[in-house]
Every structure is written in C-alpha cells, then in structure tokens.
Chain A
Amino acid sequence: MAQITLVEAVNLALARAMADDPNVVVFGEDVGKDGGVFRATLGLLDKFGPERVLDTPLAENLLAGMAIGMAAEGLRPICEIQFSGFAYSTLDQMLNHAGRMRHRTQGRLSCPMVLRTPCGAGIHPPEHHSESPDAMFAHIPGIRVVYPSSPKRAYGLLLAAIRDPDPVVFLEPTRLYRLFKEDVIDNGEALALDACFTLREGTDITLVTWGAMVYETLQVADELGEQGIVAEVIDVATLKPIDFDTILASVAKTGRCVVVTEAPRHCSIASEIAATLAEQGLLTLLAPVQRVTAPDVVVPLARLEQHYLPGKPQITAAVRRALEFA
C-alpha cells in the first residue's frame, strides 16, 4: 500500500491494465516520452514499448476515431485528450460512432474504448483548459461518463472503465490531481460503474456531487457536523448512467438535497438530478432541491476564476436554504 495522488493512481491503473491485458494500448499527444503533460502516463513507454504507448500527431478527433477502429478490432484503446477544452472536437466521433457502433451493427461490432481527459477549472491555466463538458458527453446515448474524485476511486474506476465492453469518457479532476494523497492498493480490483459512492452517511440533508467538487463538499459536511447537522454525501461518480436509486433513497431519508457541480447550470447534470428528484421523489422532499453550479458564462481566465468556481460558501448557503425551508 502506498500513499499516492490521484494522477499517480491513474498512472498505476494504466500500468496495471497494460500489464494484465496485451490488448490495452495508450495513445495521445505527448503521452510517450513526456509521460503526458500531467505525467499520467509516466513510465509506460519504458515498460510497454512504443507500439502500445504511442505519441500521436496533434489531432484530437483522430484519437477518438482511431480508438473506435482499434476497439472494433478487439484492442482496448485508451486515448488521452490533453485538456477537456480540446475534447469538443471528439464529440462527432463519440456521438456518431462510439456510442452507436454496437447498436447499429446489432452487436456485431462494439467499442470498448476509454477517452481520458483532465477536466474542470481551478488550476489557473490558459484559455480552454478549464472546461466541464460532463453534461455534453453524458447526453450521448450508448456511452458511459465516469468522473472519479479520489486516488482510490480513480484507480478502481479507471480499471472498470478499461474493462467495460462499451465506450467510456473518463473525466479526471485536474484540480485534485495532486491536491491530496490516499492509500491505494495496487491489487487490480475495479470498482463498480453505474453506482454512486456514499462517502458520508447522514440523516439531515443529502449533498450530491462529483469530480473535484467532492473535495469542498466533504469539507462543508465536516463543518456541518461540528454544528450538529449530519449530512449524507454522495459522489455520483458515474454520470451516465446515473444511479438514481441511491440518490432517491438518500433523499427519502433526509428530505433535503443540494446538488453541487462546477459546470455551468443550464442543462447540467445537476439539473437532471434535480428533475429526477422532483419527478420521483417529490413527496419525500421537505424543501426544494438546491443547485450549486457555475454561472452560465464563459469560464473566466485566471484572474476571475475564483469568483466563478462555486466553493464552500456557496455550498454552505445552499445547505442553509434547504434546511431553513419551512
């Protein structure tokens, strides 16, 4: 067991998957010699050689498209898009091909690929490096969208994504890449996809979140605990499909819910969760579901970033609104 960061856990899972299955190939821009701009693929080239760890020409759409071809031929391709802002050009391939290959060939061909990309704001980068396209990918039928929030879950969920028989978009919270360490056992055990993780059990309110916002949400839950308010914290983890059973059961218990995301509000996954709670859990609710989201604006450059990202104050205020609703 070792204390490692989230990005090291990603690296560990990639190395484990490549060692276990010769069909696993890793490719993308700068993933070879450089080990990836975040070093997620560090050391893989030396261990597995240039045929399986491949620096590609600079063309994101190519990465998604060739992954589809490789997957149909029985490889287990994992492509890295350097930043989520560069992943938009892969939407065509993911939507028109990856998500429908199994369906349109009635199971004759399939697409077991993983598209990895760092995701989210908060590291003061240049333009286009802070995007949260989770809802865009989650709108695509036939794929999965997975978004871990800790080193342990990054390791276990990435292994699950690689072994999954269908395409997975694997979003990695850039802000958490090196924020904290956790004990991770490299035992090759995958965690379940399509399932929420209940990180704190509670009775007074349910806080639903995913990705980097799990970090602040847990801090808020701790602070609430000091005030005698016991919050249940759910990490959704798989954003498509969503394990609504866990969320509905939790809200049935607590009666109050705050959904926290760093993505812009309009058509966000927070909206989907709030709508489902209204549709299927209305009579269990004691207060309107509160959404904590980024505003519907362009992600600001570094100097205004801290005013854009929702944080502890916004989550705490939303919890107050939910708790004080009579």
Chain B
Amino acid sequence: MTTAATFQIDHLQFLDAHGKVVAPLPAFANDPAALIPLYQAMVLMRIYDAKAIALQRTGQIGTYASILGKEAVEAGVGAAMEKDDVLFCTYRENGVQIMRGVTMRELLLYWGGDERGSDFAGPRRDFPVCITIASQCLHAVGVAYAIKLRRQPRVAVCMCGDGATSKGDFYEGINAAGTWRLPVVFVVTNNQWAISVPRDAQTAAQTLAQKALAAGFEGVQVDGNDVVAVHHAMREALAKARSGGGPTLIEAVTYRLADHTTADDASRYRPPEEVAAAWKCEPVLRLRNYLSEALAWNKALEEELLRQCNEQVQAAAQAYLDMPPPPVEQMFSHLYATLPAAYAAQRAAILAAAAESTQ
C-alpha cells in the first residue's frame, strides 16, 4: 500500500486569550498603533450590536442576529478588503458590512423590515445579506468567474458559518472555485453553534478548513478571536487571489456569545459554564489588553472612543427611526426592470386597498 495523499491544517494565533504575543507578529502589526483602527472598528460593532438588540427588545426592529463574540473576524476581514472587492455575507456579518461602507442606518433599515436597507449607497456591488444558508457561495463563484474573465484585480469574499459547510451549496461552490482557480476567499466563522446544533454534531471532520483540501486549494484555521491572526490570513488570501493564485478557505474559530437571534434562547441547549468560559477568550478585551500593555491605548482614549461610537450609533438609530415606511408601491417597483402589463391590475388593486386602509 502507498500513500495517495496526506494533509495538514495550520492553526494561526498571534495573541493569546490574555492578549500576550505568542508568535512573531506579522509586519503589519509591528507597530501596535497600527492595530488601533481594528480595535476602534470592533468597539463600534459591539456598540451597534447592543443598540440593535435594544431596538429589537423595544419593538423598533424585527428579529436580529447578534455578532457578539465575532468582532475580530468581522474587523480582520473587513479591513483587509479593497473597495472594489465584492462581499457575500450572512445575517451575522453586519460588522464587515459597516467596514465596507454600508451605513448602520441601512443595516437597521433592513432589520426593521425595509428593502431600502439593501440598496447600499457605499459598496454598490456587494451582495445583500444572505439568509438561505450557504446559497451565497454559488453567487461568489459567479462573481469571481466574471472577475477572472475580465482579468480584474478584484476578489470575491464569501462568508458563511460552520453549519453552512454541511450544505451542498458550500461544497458545490468550493469545488467549482478550486476547479477554475477563481479569485475568491471563503471565510467560515466557526462559532461552535448552528442555532442549537453544536459543531461536533455538524460534521465528523476534524477541522472545517480541511474541506478546502478536498476542493483542491488551501485551507487554514485561525483563532477567530485574535484579530491579528484573522487579518493576517485574510491579507495573505486576498493577495494570493488577486495575483492569480486561486481560492483560500479561512476557518475562524470563535464562539457565539449571544443567542442565535433575538428569537432564540440559547440557555435551552447549552450550558452556562461553556458560555462563561468563552467570555474569557473574547476578542475585544484581548486586543485592548494587548494595546494597553504596549502603551498604545489608555483609559482616556477608551472613554473618548466609547463616546464617539455611542454618538455615531445613536445618530444612525435615530436616522433609521426617522425614515417613514416605504411606499406600498415598493412591492412592484423593482420586481422587474419594467413591470409586465399582466401585473398592472394587481398593482392597482394593492395600491387602492392600501389607500383605503390608511383613510
């Protein structure tokens, strides 16, 4: 018997749970001050997240999926992308979207039940949030194919969760991306839970990163609570994709500190000790510890940042709340480029009924 193939998956970590450096830092992180923008982004996300939950609890937006605990994944990915890259994200990637230039007002508009929230004024080519699990992997392949066909220096970045790696769409997507060596980076946030189903009930695979190997390209696992690790892996993967080196899969290992969504109660299926232990590894405090230790951050800067972020989030929430509901017409106005004549009567009936109900 001979060996047909062997494999190895690297795990990347620079800052441990206490914010101590455990491996030589990559060049971009040599100056601790260079990490401050990442920290600022993570703090903004956490404050936005808390506000979104508060808005949901007070009936001012609909169901919301918290990003609590994965701020390092969001910041590490978002900060590495170029403006002309294309993001494919799930409902738990609002942080990356903020970094891409989607406004918090737009995000709240979406959660508040208004399609205008996906008409981003910023990243015009980014796809809207994808709810149906893993289906965005195929869109990313299509966009990456178009990019490659036109020989553009752009990359499609496709984010999904651990549960998504069980779906056919994910496998079909990574398989095609590998086959055609497409400029796409798959970022799998392994937050240990797909609603109530734990990671080890999702797959027998040792890592999610190794699924990339079956598709013929590199998979790497990173500590998803270490923003330096996420950002480094992402920079490398984007540079490779941009220079024709094909796809990469990054598995970012983290923990979903919140319920699946505001409609979920995670205490039904996971022990509080597990959550408490995960809090000890959370990404925001970890980076703050590192920056403080490196004398790049202090209490005054922290207070000022919190003040600014709160102000920004509050303004966005108010801007969302100030927006009147969309016109009823919206149901029809972008259904087709031009509404087919066959639907004119339906449109008229809906508008007439709406006009009557508001009288």
Binding site for B on A (CB under 8 A): 25, 51-52, 56-57, 59, 61-62, 64-75, 77, 92-93, 96-97, 102-110, 141-142, 165-166, 194, 241-245
Residues of A with C-beta under 8 A to B139: 65-66, 68-69, 72, 97
- Docked-complex contact A57 and B138, CB < 8 angstroms: no
Q: Among B127, B179, B333, find the residue whose CB has the most chain A CB atoms closer than 10 A.
A: B127
Number of residue pairs across A and B with beta carbons under 8 Å? 132
Q: A106: shortest Cβ distance to chain B, in Å?
A: 4
B119 CB within 8 Å of chain A: yes
Q: At the interface, is chain B mostly helix, strand, loop or mixed?
A: helix
A142 vs B334: C-alpha distance when bound (angstroms) = 9
B172 CB within 8 Å of chain A: yes
- Docked-complex contact B127 and A109, CB < 8 angstroms: yes
Among the stretches B45-53, B195-203, B306-314, B337-345, the one at the interface with A is: B337-345
Within the complex, which residue of B86, B115, B141, B144 is in contact with A103, where a contact is CB–CB below 8 Å? B115
Known A-B contacts: A69-B138, A73-B147. Give 16 more (CB < 8 A): A57-B172, A62-B141, A66-B176, A68-B142, A69-B143, A70-B143, A74-B146, A102-B337, A104-B118, A105-B128, A106-B118, A108-B119, A109-B125, A141-B335, A165-B337, A241-B343
Interface residues on B, range: 35 or more
- Docked-complex contact B141 and A65, CB < 8 angstroms: yes
Q: A316: shortest Cβ distance to chain B, in Å?
A: 31
B132 CB within 8 Å of chain A: yes
B90 CB within 8 Å of chain A: no
- Docked-complex contact B146 and A75, CB < 8 angstroms: yes
Residues of B with C-beta under 8 A to A59: 168, 172, 175-176
Residues of A with C-beta under 8 A to B173: 62, 65
B217 CB within 8 Å of chain A: no
A67 vs B145: C-alpha distance when bound (angstroms) = 10
Residues of A with C-beta under 8 A to B156: 69
Give the top 5 A-B pairs by smallest Cβ distance, nearest first. A69-B142, A65-B138, A241-B342, A66-B142, A73-B146
- Docked-complex contact A65 and B143, CB < 8 angstroms: no
Residues of A with C-beta under 8 A to B135: 65, 92-93, 96-97
- Docked-complex contact A67 and B142, CB < 8 angstroms: yes
A67 vs B142: C-alpha distance when bound (angstroms) = 6
- Docked-complex contact A102 and B336, CB < 8 angstroms: yes
